[in-house]
Amino acid sequence: MKIGIINVTGYAGVELARLLHQHPQVELASVTGRSAAGQSLSEVFPHLAGIDLTIKAELGDVELAFVAMPHKESVKEVIPLLDKGVKVVDISADFRLKDAPQYQRWYGFSHPAPQLLKEAAYGLPELHRAEIASAQLVANPGCYPTGAILALAPAVKAKLIKADVVIDSKSGLSGAGRTLTLPTHYSEANEDVSAYALEGHRHLPEITQELNLLNPQPSLSVTFVPHLVPMTRGILTTAYAPLASGKKGLEELKKLYQDFYKDAPFVRVADSPPHTKQTWGSNMCLVYPTVDQRTGWLVVISAIDNLVKGAAGQAIQNMNLMLGLPETMGLEALPVYP
């Protein structure tokens, strides 16, 4: 099956190329990148020397396309592909939210195809596997929402917590993309940790949307604060919420999480608090739930590689489901250490 990538020159796009190259059942047939059109992929990214492809201005004929454009630009590429009958996994935020007016508030544009928002499957397989398998369009989740939702989903579904939730996430610099900015300049970011978007991060409505779908009553009140840390890859999320019934046994809590994720090949309930390095280069999400017995609060830690489970790996996981392939195909590689 011929697969294409629109905008291979971003971090998500180039990671898609690396992972698809080792996939046994698909052929990476075409990649685009307007700023690098006409150059070989290995010329722009020497670590991909084994992939003999020229970066094009137009994608050509493929059966499934990954669209890795920035938000607002992505929807312009997706609509013509769908019209041609091409299956699409969109890496941007352009189809993640079901409520069209939210795009004006959080992303600063009026969505040009609100009818597609209802058709798009939210690409978190652990929650929406069946919908993804039958979808023509899948909206790949954001990196922060992936770690946050997987940390909290079992507790929310089981009505284990009260409505107030606090999510603290720390991300490596690659989450900001390849575009050069002052905050991600080496001398600015090195030996520094900073919080940002305290007025509301644009991934917040995505998190609340998915958690509230698991348990609409009561509607969750989510405080989400992201942080930038001086590392390349990884997101560590710590989520806090008061338990609805006070104290909870740790073994009972762990079993709840294990049962929830028993059919999820890329989520593992860890025996100790996970590190981001334990997921580096893999599609795995490590989740560690516990309880602060003094306060009666649930505390859940999750760790992912933001470029794999948080972007390209999860996109391929979605592709596998859409094409009727084993969900884990091409994604079995273990994390890289150290």
CATH number at residue 55: 3.40.50.720
How far apart are the C-alpha atoms of 79 and 119, rounded to whole Å?
A: 12
Question: How high is the pLDDT of residue 115?
Answer: 97
pLDDT at position 61, please?
Answer: 96
Asked, for residue 174, whether it belongs to a domain, the answer is yes
Q: Evaluate whether residue 7 is within a structural domain.
A: yes
Residuewise pLDDT in 10s, the chain (338 residues): 999 999 999 999 999 999 999 999 999 999 999 889 999 999 999 999 999 999 999 999 999 999 999 999 999 999 999 999 999 999 999 999 999 999 999 999 999 999 999 999 999 999 999 999 999 999 999 999 999 999 999 999 999 999 999 999 999 999 999 988 999 999 999 999 999 999 999 999 999 999 999 998 888 999 999 999 999 999 999 999 999 986 678 999 999 999 999 999 999 999 999 999 999 999 999 999 999 989 999 999 999 999 999 999 999 999 999 999 999 999 999 999 99
Q: Is residue 318 part of a domain?
A: no
- If asked whether residues 104 and 231 sit together in one domain, one would say no
Nearest to 331 by CA among 19, 4, 12, 18: 19
Same domain, yes or no: 188 and 269 = yes
- The residues that are catalytic are 143
Q: Which residues contact 214 (CB under 8 A, 6 or more apart)?
A: 127, 153, 156, 157
Q: Report yes or no on 48 lying in a domain.
A: yes
The SS3 of residue 178 is coil
Find out whether the peptide bond into 216 is cis, omega within 30 degrees of 0: no
Residue type, 20: L
Range of the domain at 246: 144-306
If asked whether residues 74 and 221 sit together in one domain, one would say no
Q: Is residue 76 one of the residues assigned to a domain?
A: yes
The confidence score (pLDDT) of residue 52 equals 96
Q: Are residues 151 and 299 in the same domain?
A: yes
User: Does 127 fall in a domain?
Assistant: no
Question: 38 and 185 share a domain?
Answer: no
Within this chain, do residues 301 and 208 fall inside the same structural domain, yes or no? Answer: yes
Q: What pLDDT shows up at residue 330?
A: 98
- Is 279 found in the same domain as 196? yes
Same domain? 10 vs 82: yes
Residues 290 and 149 in one domain: yes
CA distance readout (Å), 323 to 3, 82, 115, 137, 313: 11, 16, 24, 12, 15
pLDDT computed for residue 180 by the predictor: 85
Note the pLDDT of residue 218: 80
Q: Is the dihedral of CA 180, 186, 190, 192 positive or negative?
A: negative
Asked whether residue 125 is domain-assigned, the answer is: no
CB of 41 closer than 8 Å to CB of 55: yes
Domain count, the chain: 2
**Distance in angstroms (rounded) separating the CA atoms of residues 278 and 301:** 13
Same domain, yes or no: 48 and 185: no
Q: What's the pLDDT at 35?
A: 87
Query: Does residue 317 fall inside a structural domain?
Result: no
Residues 56 and 160 in one domain: no
Same-domain pairing of 83 and 175 = no
Residue 248: predicted pLDDT = 74
d(CA 98, CA 109): 15
Residue 206 and residue 141 in contact, taking contact as beta carbons nearer than 8 Å: yes
CATH number of residue 210's parent domain: 3.30.360.10
Question: What secondary structure letter does DSSP report for 161?
Answer: B
